[in-house]
Amino acid sequence: MKSLYFKVGILGSGQLGRMFTQSACNIGIEVSVYSPEKDSPAAKSGAKEYTGEYTNFELLEKFLENQNALSFEFENIPSSTLDFLINYQTKQNIKIYPNPRCVQIAQNRKLEKNFFKEIGLLVTNFFVIESLEDLQKLPKDWKFPSILKTNLFGYDGKGQWKVNSVLDIETILHEQKSFDHILEEIVPFEKEISVIGVRFSNGQIFCYPPAENIHTNHILDISIYPANISESLKQKAIRYTTKLLESLNYVGVLGLEMFVVEDELYCNEFAPRPHNSGHFTMNACRYSQFDMQAFTLLGVVPSFDFSFQPTVMKNIIGESFFQNKQILTNYLYNPNYHIYLYQKAEARKGRKMGHINYLGSFENSKFPIGTDWKV
């Protein structure tokens, strides 16, 4: 008998898969996740769990046979797996949103920066390093200090170093297994903002207004909605995000990070999935970014005429939040705070363990900067 449920598969099974599962289950979607991880956060929220390596194509094909649609929880998926999905999609009747080509661009800093430039979006100066000999071609007017980054699979400050000279770069590269990096000039930005954009299969686009982001140790700490920027910058950020969605022929949810430099915006990177800085949408408005991800997979376009409440999102990182139960109790007692814990088995330094949304201003939220939680 054919299932009455619409079945969605997700590659990845962490907190983003968990929150998608919770949204999707609320409207009757059956969710399955595939990853190397057992007893994952997504599985603990009701997703059916398939465990296997992303390059085990036999297991992956069995997983896909049971799905009506597929999406992604993160972009750090082997390129060979993305190629497999592209070929599989052409042979089988399954929707894969976003297109795996978009994921390949997002996970590769060189492709991403060049794509931004091709469609007319500003980026900081960058230089590709694929061998030590490439350093000899570095422009003489290159500005230090700069940021050296691995080209693939970097996030939350991993795989990047601040460098003050060519000698610094050489020292770091000699310790790496391969030469596949980019060097970026540091942008003297005033603040970082991000926009969560949604594009449906019929071409309709919706963008959440920009949020303002504060980082600690290269990890997103706090997102404040609405961002404290001019109306012209707000509209420019939405135009940039719309341009990106259209140029990629994208279907699904993405997050675009931008640096504010006076009256201009420099695009930093995009995530081909719901984004940490978009968690404010879970309480600020009618439909969250995870609801929107589900709608794009269903092919359902909701009404966009919903209003937003000022909201502050605070990441819970590491173990300090859990060291005194009174901290959790204090937030539970106030109805303006909404707590989301990810049910990860182990709290590690720098690991995202949950987040809290506060309905109101940043000043009234009394959130600490960093991980120094107070009772």
- 139 within domain boundaries: yes
Residues 46 and 71 both lie in one domain: yes
Is residue 373 in some structural domain? no
Phi-psi map region of 218: left, alpha, beta (phi>0 left; psi -120 to 50 alpha):
left
Query: What's the CATH number where 16 sits?
Result: 3.40.50.20
Buried b (16+ CB within 10 A) or exposed e, 105-125: bbbbbbebbebbeeeebebbb
Q: Would the pLDDT of 156 be above 70?
A: no
Considering the chain, what percentage of its residues have pLDDT values greater than 90? 89
CB 103 within 8 A of CB 11: no
Reported confidence tier of residue 158, pLDDT bands at 50, 70, 90? confident
Of 20, 32, 11, 179, whose CA–CA distance to 82 is shortest? 11
Q: Which of 135, 142, 134 is nearest to 167 (CA)?
A: 135
Token reading at 272: 């081909």
Task: Quick: pLDDT tens for 94-128.
Answer: 999 999 999 999 999 999 999 999 999 999 999 99
Query: Cα–Cα distance between 268 and 122 in angstroms, integer?
Result: 9
Task: Quickly state the pLDDT bin for 157 (edges 50, 70, 90).
Answer: low
Residue 73 and residue 214 in one domain: no
CB 239 within 8 A of CB 265: no
Q: How confident is the model at residue 4 (pLDDT cuts 50, 70, 90)?
A: low
Cα atoms in the 13 Å half-sphere on the side-chain side of 298: 19
Q: CATH number for the domain including 164? A: 3.30.1490.20
Write out the E strands in the chain.
7-11, 30-35, 48-51, 69-72, 95-96, 126-129, 146-150, 160-163, 181-185, 191-199, 205-207, 211-216, 219-225, 252-261, 264-271, 311-317, 337-341, 352-359
The whole-number pLDDT of residue 361 equals 97
- 11 and 55 co-located in one domain: yes
Torsion of CA 139, 145, 149, 154, to 10 degrees: -150
* Range of the structural domain that residue 170 is part of: 125-185
Same domain, 320 and 230: yes
Among the residue ranges 189-193, 297-301, 371-375, the one predicted with the least confidence is 371-375
Distance CA 135, CA 250 (A): 36
Q: Are residues 354 and 207 in the same domain?
A: yes
pLDDT at residue 305 greater than cutoff 80: no
Which stretch of 100-109, 128-137, 204-213, 283-292 has the lowest confidence by average pLDDT?
128-137
288 and 359 part of one domain: yes
Q: How many structural domains is the chain composed of?
A: 3
Region 163-175: mean pLDDT is: 93
Interhelix angle for 109-118 vs 231-247, to 10°?
Answer: 110
Lowest mean pLDDT among 166-170, 177-181, 320-324: 177-181
206 and 343 share one domain: yes
Same domain for 357 and 223: yes
